[in-house]
A and B are shown apart, each in its own frame.
Chain A
Amino acid sequence: MKNEIIVISGIVLDESMRFTLVELCEFAKTSPEQVIEMVEEGVLEPEGSSVYTWRFDTYALKRLQIALRLQQDLDINLPGSALILDLLEEMERLRR
């Protein structure tokens, strides 16, 4: 396999970034329904009081992406993936 060299620059997902519901779905390649379910479950905690004013940070994007992968790959339901996310973060914290 030949190595390819591409010069690229991306965007940094830093803590000042905020996504609307639509943008978050676009980034995570998922549906608004799924995101709404996760907010109801407490997996994601957006700023703002209604679906229309919700703003998500990059931490939410990361949690959403991991939760989706766990659900698709391991057939884990929403509460299960929420629990795993919390435990993964706890592990990460303890390692530091």
Chain B
Amino acid sequence: MEYKDYYKIMGLSRDASPEEIKRAYRKLARKYHPDVSKEPDAETKFKELGEAYEVLKDPKKRAAYDQVGRGWQEGQSFTPPPDWGFDFGAEQGFTGTGGGFSDFFEALFGRGFGAGRGGVYGRQAHMQGSDQHARIQIDLEDAYRGADSLISLNVPQTDSQGHLVSSVRTLNVKIPKGIKAGQRIRLAGQGMPGVGGGRSGDLYLEIEFKPHRYFRAEGRDIHLELPVTPWEAALGATVPVPTLGGTVELKVPAGSQAGKQLRLKSRGLPGTPAGDQYVTLKIVTPSARTDEAKALYEQMAKVMPMNPRAAMGV
């Protein structure tokens, strides 16, 4: 296993006072708390920090760590001394971190208390594993049809060297038809394992949609910007529109302007009620590449003069 430099993790020198340790923990915990932090590896950093604080805040554990750890560097291969033994005494569980501690920690201080959050449950020998939370990105099409989706989760775990790493856990999760962004799926018993016969925690997956080339979801409604030609907008036309369920025909009324919004009822994500699809027209003009095309535009300017900026007073 690899040696873990708890002082380095907390950004402290080896002679840091208990007050400095507490202050550093509070500051870094706010920075890396998974509910608040926007750092990509916040969850892993937060767990590492919790482990470091667990040791350094306790004078007995800190003294033991200092004694065994003299001369080691972060990441070096580490074996505890053969006569090593740490007396827990009446120790009442650990506080505050979301998941298991590293092998390094467990080799020094024993295992069995790391799997749950502190507080109410930290004081019981049978401890339920903590819940895990993750965001997953799915395709809009999968939300429309429902799907069995292979989902790779980065789960903070300890590797064979005792390092806390983001390891990949693959789950085959049923994505129900009509799920919306922001909704959560609860997978009972798929969280952190329990301790001493305690039940496993639950896994919560929060749904996000992958950005789509042209659809944008708002709740169950789907928004789409549809390019049309000037003559389709001016004269009216029936044009094909992509929807999640396939292509449908949309009647563009004569005299439509750019930005006009048309609704395709119940063509959004399924549900009760199903969402609608909103189509916003975007007028695309053909470029005047030939003399003939140029003449046509000039003729339009003569026959249909207009000032589109009149409302701006220019």
- A residues sitting closer than 8 Å to B (CB atoms) are 1, 3-14, 27, 29-31, 58, 62, 65-66, 69-75, 84, 88
Contacts and interface: CB of A to CB of B under 8 A. Distances in A.
Given A5-B170, A74-B29, A13 B118 contact: no
Nearest to B179: A12
Given A29-B121, A29-B131, 12 more contacts: A7-B172, A8-B190, A11-B188, A12-B183, A13-B183, A29-B128, A30-B120, A65-B131, A65-B133, A65-B204, A70-B35, A72-B119
A4 B121 CA distance: 28
B98 A4 contact: no
B183 A14 contact: yes
Main secondary structure of the interface of B (DSSP, over half): mixed
B168 A3 contact: yes
Main secondary structure of the interface of A (DSSP, over half): mixed
Contacts of A10: 173-174, 185-188, 190, 203, 205
For chain B, give the interface size range: 35 or more
Contacts of B284: none
B121 A6 contact: no
A73 B33 CA distance: 8
Given A1-B157, A6-B172, A10-B205, A69 B35 contact: yes
Given A11-B186, A13-B184, A72-B117, A66 B35 contact: yes
